[in-house]
C-alpha cells in the first residue's frame, strides 16, 4: 500500500515537473538550445561540473561550444531550459540585441544576488545596482583619467625593468614553466602602485611581512582562486581540512592587508594624489555634502579593483604570449612594427602609445579569443521581445518574460562568423583595420556598465607586450613527451582553459631568448 502511494506521489511530482518544464520552454517561444535536468548556470554549477547529455551542460560549455550551439540552431539567441530549477535562461550572441541589452540598463539590470560571492568583504561597484552602483561609479570614475594612465604606463615600465633586471637577471635565455607566474605579479605590481600608491618589487614581495603568514600576492591569489569554495561551504566546514583552513587564512590575511593599507594612507603625510585609493578614502571620510562609503564598502571596493585590475589582465597577458609563441609569424610582424617606432632598446614613452597600433591589435585579438568574462548576466525587468535574423534570413521574434535571466554570450559572439572571418585563428590584422564591428566586441562589457578600468588595462597591457617582444623572442618550451605533437595539438595544450571567476590558462610553458 505504502509503495503504491509513493509511486502515485512520485508520478504526480514527475508530471508536475514536466508541465513546468514545457511551460518554461513555451515562455521563450520554444527556441532551440539546451534542454537539461540541472542548470549549471545556477548555484548548482559548482557541484555538477561534468557534461552529461540531458542532465547538465557542464561548467565549461561556453569554452567548448563557443558559437556551435547557435550555428546548430540557426539563430543567435538560444534558450537553456532546465527542470531544476524550472526556468528558461536566454543566451545571446547577436550584436544588435547585445547592444540593446547593454544600452538600456533599467530594462536589463544586473541580478545582484548572483554576485554575492564578490561582496563578502563589502558591497562594491561590481556587485551592486541602482543608486548604490551610481554612488560607487561616481566616486571611482574620476580616478581612471589620462593623468592616471600616464602613471600606469610609468609603473608598468618600472615593473618590466624589475622583471628583466631582478627576476630574470638579464639572462640571455629564460625558461618559465607557467607564464602566469610572471603576469600575476606584474599586474599586481601595476595596480598596487598606480591604483593604490603601494610600490612593490619582484624580490621584496616574496618576503612575508612581520605579523602575516602569507605575502600580499599569495593571499590575493588564494581568494581569487577559491571564491566558490568560500561561498558554498559553511564556516564550520572551513576548519576541517588543511586546504580549507589555508583558504580561510587567505581571506583573513587579505582583509588585514587592506585594513593596513587604509591605516597607512590615513596616517601618512597629506599630499595631492590622483589614484583610485585617494578617491575611495575621501569618500569614506565624507565632506557632509555627498554620501560616504562605509568601512565595509571601502574594503569591498578596494578588493574588487585589486581583483579586477590584477587577475583579468594577468590571464589575458598569459594568453597573449601563448598565442605569440604559437604564431611566430605574427610575433615577427609585431616585433618589426615595434622596432619601426622604438628604434633603440629604450622603453617606449606614453606619448608613443597611439603609434603602437599592432600591440593593441594583438591585445584585442587575444581578448576576442579569450575574453576574461565569458558571459554577462542581466535580468529582464519587464516583458519584452528580441528580434533577430536567422540563418535563413528570416526575422525571428523571441518573447522575453519579466524576470528572465538574459546572458550575453561574449565568447560565442566573439566566435560568430557573421562578425569575424575564420574566428578560431589568431589574426591581429582584423583590428588593424578601421571597419571591425565594435558592437560585436565586448571584453569590457558595454553601455553605462562598461568596465571603468578599460584604458588602465589597455595601457598596462600595451607596454608589457611591447617591452617583452622588443627584448625577447618567445617560443613554446620544448618537452620530449610532446615531441611528436602537431601544431593543433600544441595549440590545444597551450591554450587549455579552466573556468574560475574569469577564464584561466592552465599551463603555459615558454622560453624567452634575448634578441640581438
Contacts of 138 (CB under 8 A, 6+ apart): none
Residue 218 DSSP SS3: helix
| Confidence at 20, pLDDT banded by 50, 70, 90 | very high
Expressed as residue numbers, the domain containing 393 is 88-197+273-514
pLDDT tens, residue by residue, 225-259 = 888 788 778 888 888 899 999 999 999 999 999 99
Q: Cell for 123?
A: 558591497
pLDDT band at 289 (very low <50, low <70, confident <90, very high): low
Query: 225-234, 444-453, 476-485: which has the minimum mean pLDDT?
Result: 225-234
Q: Which of 227, 284, 214 is nearest to 256 (CA)?
A: 214
244 inside domain: no
Average pLDDT of the residues in 420-441:
96
The residue count of the chain comes to 516
Residue 51 domain-assigned? no
The Cα 295–Cα 262 span in angstroms is: 10
**Domain-located, residue 160:** yes
Q: Say whether 451 counts as a known binding-site residue.
A: yes
Is residue 238 included in any domain, yes or no?
no
Q: Residue 435 belongs to a domain with what CATH number?
A: 1.10.630.10
Identify whether 117 is part of a domain.
yes
* 483: in domain: yes
C-alpha dist (Å) from residue 296 to 262, 277, 282, 426, 477: 12, 15, 15, 43, 45
Average pLDDT value for residue range 443-452: 93
Distance CA(465)–CA(182), nearest Å, equals 13
Residue 215, in any domain of the structure? no
Residue 297: φ, ψ to 5°: -65, -35
Residue at grid coordinates 591569489: 221
**What pTM was computed for the model?**
0.93
Q: What proportion of the chain, given as a percentage, has pLDDT over 70?
A: 95
Q: Choose the most confident range, by mean pLDDT, from 110-114, 257-261, 379-383.
A: 379-383
Is residue 98 predicted with pLDDT exceeding 80? yes
Q: Is the pLDDT of residue 116 over 80?
A: no
- Residue carrying C-alpha cell 590575493: 220
Res. 167: pLDDT tops 80? yes
Q: Is residue 382 part of a domain?
A: yes
Which of 147, 160, 40, 20 has its CA nearest to residue 86?
A: 20
Distance CA 64, CA 41 (A): 15
Instruction: Examine residue 85 and say whether the peptide bond preceding it is cis (omega within 30 degrees of 0).
Output: yes
Joined grid coordinates for residue 486: 602537431
Per-residue confidence (pLDDT) for residue 46, from 0 to 100: 46
Answer whether residue 143 shows pLDDT above 60.
yes
Distances (CA, A) of 357 to 129, 225, 365: 35, 33, 12
Closest CA to 82 of 51, 40, 49, 126: 40
Q: What is the number of domains present in the chain? A: 1
How does pLDDT run across 301-360, given as a tens digit for each residue? 998 988 888 899 999 999 999 999 999 999 999 999 999 999 887 899 999 999 999 999
Amino acid at each position: 500500500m505504502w509503495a503504491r502511494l509513493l509511486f502515485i506521489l512520485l508520478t504526480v511530482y514527475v508530471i508536475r515537473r514536466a508541465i513546468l518544464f514545457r511551460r518554461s520552454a513555451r515562455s521563450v517561444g520554444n527556441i532551440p538550445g539546451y534542454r537539461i535536468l540541472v542548470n549549471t548556470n545556477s548555484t548548482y554549477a559548482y557541484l555538477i561540473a561534468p557534461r552529461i547529455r540531458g542532465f547538465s551542460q557542464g561548467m565549461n560549455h561556453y569554452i567548448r561550444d563557443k558559437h556551435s550551439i547557435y550555428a546548430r540552431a540557426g539563430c543567435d539567441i538560444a534558450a537553456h531550459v532546465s527542470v531544476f530549477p524550472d526556468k528558461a535562461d536566454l543566451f545571446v550572441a547577436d550584436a544588435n540585441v547585445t547592444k540593446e541589452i547593454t544600452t538600456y540598463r533599467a530594462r536589463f539590470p544586473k541580478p545582484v544576488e548572483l554576485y554575492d560571492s564578490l561582496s563578502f568583504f563589502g558591497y562594491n561597484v561590481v556587485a551592486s545596482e541602482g543608486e548604490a552602483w551610481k554612488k560607487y561609479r561616481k566616486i571611482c570614475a574620476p580616478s581612471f583619467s589620462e593623468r592616471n594612465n600616464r602613471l600606469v604606463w610609468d609603473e608598468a615600465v618600472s615593473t618590466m625593468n624589475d622583471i628583466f633586471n631582478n627576476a630574470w637577471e638579464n639572462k640571455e635565455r629564460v625558461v618559465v614553466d607557467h607564464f602566469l607566474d610572471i603576469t600575476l605579479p606584474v599586474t599586481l605590481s601595476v595596480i598596487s602602485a598606480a591604483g593604490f600608491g603601494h610600490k612593490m618589487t619582484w624580490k621584496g614581495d616574496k618576503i612575508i611581512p612581520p605579523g602575516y603568514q602569507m605575502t600580499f600576492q599569495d593571499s590575493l591569489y588564494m581568494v581569487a582562486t577559491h571564491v566558490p569554495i568560500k561561498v558554498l561551504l559553511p564556516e564550520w566546514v572551513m576548519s576541517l581540512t588543511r586546504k580549507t583552513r589555508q583558504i580561510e587564512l587567505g581571506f583573513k590575511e587579505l582583509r588585514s592587508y587592506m585594513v593596513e593599507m587604509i591605516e597607512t594612507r590615513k596616517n601618512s603625510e597629506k599630499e595631492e594624489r590622483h589614484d583610485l585609493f585617494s578617491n575611495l578614502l575621501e569618500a569614506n571620510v565624507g565632506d557632509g555634502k555627498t554620501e560616504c562609503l562605509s568601512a565595509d564598502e571601502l574594503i569591498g571596493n578596494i578588493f574588487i579593483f585589486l581583483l579586477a585590475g590584477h587577475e583579468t589582465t594577468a590571464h589575458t597577458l598569459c594568453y597573449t604570449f601563448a598565442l605569440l609563441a604559437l604564431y611566430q609569424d605574427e610575433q615577427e610582424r609585431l616585433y618589426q612594427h615595434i622596432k619601426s617606432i622604438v628604434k633603440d632598446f629604450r622603453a617606449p614613452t606614453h606619448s608613443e602609445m597611439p603609434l603602437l597600433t599592432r600591440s593593441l591589435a594583438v591585445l584585442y585579438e587575444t581578448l576576442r579569443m579569450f575574453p576574461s568574462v565569458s558571459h554577462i548576466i542581466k535580468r529582464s525587468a519587464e516583458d519584452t521581445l528580441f528580434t533577430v535574423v536567422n540563418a535563413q534570413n528570416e526575422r525571428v521574434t523571441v518573447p522575453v518574460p519579466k524576470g528572465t535571466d538574459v546572458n550575453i554570450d561574449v565568447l560565442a559572439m566573439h566566435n560568430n562568423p557573421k562578425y569575424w572571418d575564420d574566428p578560431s585563428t589568431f589574426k591581429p590584422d582584423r583590428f588593424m583595420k578601421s571597419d571591425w564591428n565594435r558592437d560585436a566586441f565586448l571584453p569590457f562589457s558595454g553601455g553605462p556598465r562598461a568596465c571603468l578600468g578599460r584604458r588602465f588595462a589597455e595601457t598596462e597591457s600595451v607596454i608589457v607586450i611591447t617591452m617583452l617582444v622588443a627584448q625577447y623572442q618567445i617560443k613554446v618550451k620544448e618537452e620530449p613527451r610532446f615531441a611528436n605533437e602537431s601544431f593543433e595539438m600544441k595549440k590545444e595544450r597551450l591554450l587549455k582553459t579552466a573556468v574560475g571567476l574569469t577564464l584561466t590558462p592552465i599551463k603555459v610553458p615558454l622560453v624567452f631568448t634575448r634578441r640581438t
